[in-house]
Amino acid sequence: MISLAVFNDLLHGFSTVLDPMNLLWAVLGVTLGMLVGILPGIGPALTIALLLPITFNFSDPIGAFIMFAGIYYGAMYGGSTTSILINTPGESASVATAIEGHKMALKGRARAALATAAIGSFVAGTISTVLLTFVAKPIGNLASEFQSTDYFAITLLAMVAVTALVGHSLVRGLLSLTVGLFIGLIGLDSLSGAQRYTFGTLRLLDGVDVVIVIVGLFAIGETLHVASKLRSTPDRPAVLEKGQLRTGYLNKSDWSRSWAPWLRGTALGFPFGAIPSGGAEVPTFLSYTIEKRRARKAGRKHPDEFGDGAIEGVAGPEAANNASFSGVLVPLLTLGLPTSATAAVMLAAFQIFNVQPGPQLFEDQGTLVWTLIASLYVGNLILLIMNLPLIQIWVQVLKVPRPLLYAGILVFACLGVYSLSGSGYEVLMALLIGVVGFFMRKLDFPIAPVILGVILGPTMEEQFRRSLVISNGDASVFFTRPLSLIIIVLTVLALFVPYLPRIVARIRGTQASRDRLTFGEDD
């Protein structure tokens, strides 16, 4: 039976992850993740990119990936802390949480809000990891049927869909994507050996390292952005009420109001993580909207609490953003396809360790994959145990003057880039890209498409040219294979998703709203 084999593999994964050293990586990853989760402007994508140079020295990649995964879902949770306590979402995935969460805190229910976020994250993380456990391998088997035309189409879909959903303007998104594709092209062409966009310098022959692009855009660009608007009214954290019950801080009615939103949030987060929608932004807002609508419909018990600190509005979105992480892993592990900026950085990490995610991953790197999956179970437990005790520390971190905080990050970023090559040239390059990133932020160009373009562009080109070589240069091959055609049609449709509300309104003949579905930058 397949399922028995899965258990066997998973148990093997647990035996590796429970190794003290690997447990330490999990704790470190989760803690770092929570830290960057609470800091506005710094997300998991940047953190993983900063740590990439350090992990070059790891003898085996398992520890690194356990840590990276911990950073990802730790950040998903960490964002909720600042959302609730000071109404400053550290992560785009926590914006929905701030709406009700901060209201709860103002009413003296900060602990309950934090607890429902933590326990919801744990429940959602665990359920979605179970789903990942059983879904990953069958999808991987399915993907082994994929040909190069399909891979080309699906890479295109990932880039276009994320670009369409992220940011406020499709044109700006596509421009960002083009910049990313351009950077990805720099260097030697692997097939013909021709130099592309090297401007005659030897330095650019190897292309631009992905780490430099990520550190430049996220760390340096973002830091400059924060620095450009440094002074603002500071917040004071909502006072944490003294816990009457040490366990959970949730009373009976909180529990009964939280569990259903947790499950609904999980059901939204997992599939949305798996499809290219830019990560956790979409499902968190969907979850919030659904909980709000349900509360309005039910109407009897807690009629007008939404907008005034309804616990459902915290429980649902927080479950959704953690569930989305396991969802993100499905296409990443089985197809080598990132659906968010952070996933793209993780893909780069896989490539650095010479691990190629895709259908063969479960065969070639069984231990790595199953240990990674097992670490999610363990990491979610660590998150649940650690988060409430650590809140006071996070509050202290936020009291640090921002010039010190972000200058430190800038130094660390430059050190990381310098350690890549030991030459100042790379640091200058990162600074240059950082300045570009700053102006992109200022002028409202999304960053995520750039990263996807840099990382997926070369893959897409390779698959594209391989398809053409196989078909003797006949481009119709992309439209004659049904699977490829379906994916390409989906890609075209993805361009219209942001305009869905307007299209629906037009069809219904109602007042065409000027709304466009937009979602902020996701990490």
519: three-class secondary structure by DSSP: strand
241 binds other proteins (CB under 8 A): no
Q: Which of 82, 128, 163, 342 binds other proteins (CB under 8 A)?
A: 82
247 binds other proteins (CB under 8 A): no
Q: What is the spatial distance between Cα 509 and Cα 299, in angstroms, rounded to a whole number?
A: 30
410 binds other proteins (CB under 8 A): no
Tokens 């499905």, located at residue: 330
For the bound state, the minimum distance from the C-beta of residue 399 to other proteins, rounded and expressed in Å, comes to 5
For the bound state, the minimum distance from the C-beta of residue 41 to other proteins, rounded and expressed in Å, comes to 11
Structure tokens at 255: 């529990």
Q: Which of 20, 401, 422, 482 binds other proteins (CB under 8 A)?
A: 401
Q: What is the spatial distance between Cα 480 and Cα 349, in angstroms, rounded to a whole number?
A: 35
Structure tokens at 24: 């330490």
43 binds other proteins (CB under 8 A): no
**Residue 307 DSSP label:** T
398 binds other proteins (CB under 8 A): yes
Among 460, 483, 461, 487, which Cα is nearest to 155's? 460
For the bound state, the minimum distance from the C-beta of residue 93 to other proteins, rounded and expressed in Å, comes to 18
- Residue nearer to other proteins on the CB measure, 10 or 409: 409
For the bound state, the minimum distance from the C-beta of residue 29 to other proteins, rounded and expressed in Å, comes to 24
Sign of the dihedral through C-alpha 475, 480, 481, 485: positive
Among 285, 237, 242, 235, which Cα is nearest to 265's? 285
Q: Which of 103, 111, 257, 402 binds other proteins (CB under 8 A)?
A: 402
244 binds other proteins (CB under 8 A): no
Q: How many residues form the binding site for other proteins (CB under 8 A)?
A: 19
304 binds other proteins (CB under 8 A): no
230 binds other proteins (CB under 8 A): yes
For the bound state, the minimum distance from the C-beta of residue 279 to other proteins, rounded and expressed in Å, comes to 24
Q: Which stretch binds other proteins (CB under 8 A): 29-37, 245-253, 391-399, 432-440?
A: 391-399
501 binds other proteins (CB under 8 A): no
395 binds other proteins (CB under 8 A): yes
For the bound state, the minimum distance from the C-beta of residue 42 to other proteins, rounded and expressed in Å, comes to 12
For the bound state, the minimum distance from the C-beta of residue 86 to other proteins, rounded and expressed in Å, comes to 6
Phi-psi category of residue 279: left, alpha or beta, with phi > 0 → left and psi -120 to 50 → alpha: left
- Residue nearer to other proteins on the CB measure, 41 or 357: 41
Among 178, 165, 152, 159, which Cα is nearest to 496's? 165
Q: Which of 399, 476, 508, 509 binds other proteins (CB under 8 A)?
A: 399
Q: What is the spatial distance between Cα 144 and Cα 439, in angstroms, rounded to a whole number?
A: 42
Site for other proteins in 83-102 (CB under 8 A): 86, 88
Among 159, 133, 324, 278, which Cα is nearest to 151's? 159
For the bound state, the minimum distance from the C-beta of residue 236 to other proteins, rounded and expressed in Å, comes to 6
How remote is the C-alpha of 88 from its chain's centroid?
19
For the bound state, the minimum distance from the C-beta of residue 90 to other proteins, rounded and expressed in Å, comes to 9
Question: Per-residue DSSP letters for 166-219?
Answer: BBS-HHHHHHHHHHHHHHHH-EE-TTT--EES-TT-GGGTT---HHHHHIIIII
234 binds other proteins (CB under 8 A): yes
Among 94, 105, 27, which Cα is nearest to 63's? 27
Contact 158, 150 (CB under 8 A): no
Tokens 């998104």, located at residue: 173
- Residue nearer to other proteins on the CB measure, 3 or 232: 232
307 binds other proteins (CB under 8 A): no
40 binds other proteins (CB under 8 A): yes
165 binds other proteins (CB under 8 A): no
232 binds other proteins (CB under 8 A): yes
- Residue nearer to other proteins on the CB measure, 235 or 515: 235
For the bound state, the minimum distance from the C-beta of residue 396 to other proteins, rounded and expressed in Å, comes to 9
Tokens 């944490």, located at residue: 240
How remote is the C-alpha of 188 from its chain's centroid?
30
CA-derived radius of gyration, the chain: 23
Q: Which of 233, 244, 247, 510 binds other proteins (CB under 8 A)?
A: 233
Question: Per-residue DSSP letters for 4-25?
Answer: HHHHHHHHHHHHHHTSHHHHHH
52 binds other proteins (CB under 8 A): no
186: three-class secondary structure by DSSP: coil
Q: Which of 235, 308, 444, 474 binds other proteins (CB under 8 A)?
A: 235
Tokens 């954290």, located at residue: 237
Tokens 């069809």, located at residue: 507
Site for other proteins in 143-162 (CB under 8 A): none
For the bound state, the minimum distance from the C-beta of residue 226 to other proteins, rounded and expressed in Å, comes to 10
- In degrees, rounded to 5, the angle at the alpha carbon of residue 391 between the alpha carbons of residues 220 and 415 is 25
403 binds other proteins (CB under 8 A): yes
Binding site for other proteins (CB under 8 A): 40, 82, 86, 88, 230-237, 395, 398-403
